[in-house]
Chain A
Amino acid sequence: MAIIELQNVSKLYGFGDATNVALDEVSLTIGEGEFVGVMGPSGCGKSTLMNIIGLLDRPTHGQYELHRRSVAKLRPGARAKIRRDTVGFVFQSFNLLPRLTVLENVALPLAYKGMSLSRRLRQASNMLERVGLQEREYYYPRQLSGGQAQCAAIARALVNSPKIIIADEPTGNLDSASSRLVMELLSEIHKTGNTILFVTHNPELTRYATRVVYMHDGSVVHDEPTALGEIAATARKVMYSIPTKTEEDDLAGVSVLMKTVPDVTQSKTKAKSGRAAKASKKKPAKSKKKERA
C-alpha cells in the first residue's frame, strides 16, 4: 500500500531570472515498509525532496498525499502535528540539543505531544535501551562519539513511533564502523515495519535498502528495486566501473552518477568507455579498505 505519493511535485526558489528549480516535477510513490535509498550528486534536490516528504517544506506545485491525505497545502500547525506523529527525522549532523541530556533530547518529541514528564522520560529510556545507549542516558551530546550521537538521534526520531523515518545522510559525518552501526540500527527498525528513506553518497550502504532512487538536477532519473544485502546494481557501477569525469563532462554538466544511469546518459558513457576501464582499477582498492574497517 502506498504511504507516500508525490505527483509532479516541483520546488522553486527565487523569482524571475534567478529562479532555481530544486525539484522538477517529481512523481514518486513509496509503499509501506519500503527501505528507500536516495542517491545523487550534491545539489540535485535530495534534501529538498526529503524536506517535502517530511513536511518541513511545502512544494511549489504538485500533489502530495501522505496516507491518502493531501498534505501539500496544509497550514504550519497541521504540518507540525503530522511531523510529530508520523515522521521521524535523522540528520547528518545529529542535531541533538547540546544543553539537554541524551535522555531529555530523546524525550523532546513526546513533550510536544503533551505527555507527562515521568512517562516521557520512561519511554525515552526504553528507546535508548533499544538503540543500546541506556547507560549513557545522562550524558550530554558532546560526551558521545559520532556513532552514539547518531544512535541517540535515531532514538529521538523513533520515540514517537512514527510510520516514516527520514534520514538525510545519516552517516555523512561518521566513519565506516559507525556508519555500519547506524545502518544496522535503521535496518532493524525497518524490520519492525517502518518505512525508511535515507540519503547517501556511499553506494556500499545501498545494501540495506530495498529500493534505490537516483536523482539528478531535481529529477528522479532512475528507480530500481534491490535485494537486501546487495549493493544496488546502478550504484555498484559507480563503485567499480564508472570513469572519473572528464573536462568535457564538466563542460556538459555531466556527473559521475549520471553516467551510470543508462537511459539518460547512455550515449555519453559509450563514448568514454575507453577511459572507464583505466579508472576502474583504482576504485576496488578503496572499497576493500572499507570492508576491512
Chain B
Amino acid sequence: MIPGAFDYHSPQSLDEALSLLKQHAGDAKILAGGQSLIPAMRFRLAVPSILIDINRLNDLRYVEERGDHLAIGAMTLERSLEDATVVRSSYSLLHDTAGVIADPLVRNMATVGGNIAHADPANDHPATMLAYDATVVAKGPGGERTIAIDEFFTGLFENALSDDEILTEIRIPKPGAGSGGAYTKLERKVGDYAISAAAVQLRLDGGAIVEARIGLTNVSAVPMRARAAEAELAGKSPSDDVIEAAGKAAAAECDPSPDLRGPVEYKRDVTRVMVKRSIATAIARAKGGN
C-alpha cells in the first residue's frame, strides 16, 4: 500500500517549522514519529497534501525535572521515556505506560508528543496524562501557551491546538510525598490497542486517599477521566470495598463501543478490573514511597 502524494518539508528549527505551518495552515500535517500517521496514509484514511517532518528538531527531545514538574520534549521517543532513570524512579505510572505502548520497534520511532496530539482514545498516553493532571505546551506564531490536559482532548482525533500551533512539551507535576501511580492494560497481543486500560495516580495522607485521578483508555470516543470512580476514592481509607466501588463506578461511566475486541458488557467489566488493579498497585507504591 502506497500513500497518496504529498509535498515534504523537513525544517531544521522550530521557528522554521512554525513558519511553514503558518504558510500552509489547514493543508499541512505535522509528521512526528509517524507510527499512527503513516499507517493511516497507507490506507488512504489520511491524505495530507503537505507533510512537515519535525524529526530533525532534536531540541524537542528531553526528559528532565525542572522546578515543580517533569518536562518531556514533544519529540522524546517512547523508548527514551522507558529508559529514563527519572521516569523509572519517580514516575511509575508513566514508566508502566511507556513499556506497553505498541511494540518495542514502534517505540523506537513513536514520540510522546505525537501520541498525545493524535488524540486517539485508544492511545495510552492520553489516559496517563489525564491521571497526572499534566499540562501541554503549544507554540504558535503568537508565542507559547499552556493548555490543561482536561481541556486538551476535544473530540475523536481532535485536540485544542489551532492549525498553526505545534505541541512542544508536556509537563507532569512532581508527585508529592505519599504518591503512587500505575497503568494496567489488557490487550489481545503486543501491538494491539487496549481492550481497556486504566491509569491511576493518587496520594495518601494519614492513611486516607486525599487525591486520586483516573484516566481510561479505549472505552470512550474521547480520552476520558473516570470522575465517578475518583469520587469513590476521595477521602476514604483504602479497602477492598472502596476499590471495588471505584471499579464499578468506572465500569458504569465509561462508554465503550463493541468491536472485535469484545462486546460492551465485557469491556465494562474489563475496565472495572483494570481500574481495581491500578488502584491497588498505586496504593502499594504510595506506601512504598514511589
Do A and B come together as binding partners? no
Q: Which residues of A approach B to under 8 Å, CB–CB?
A: none
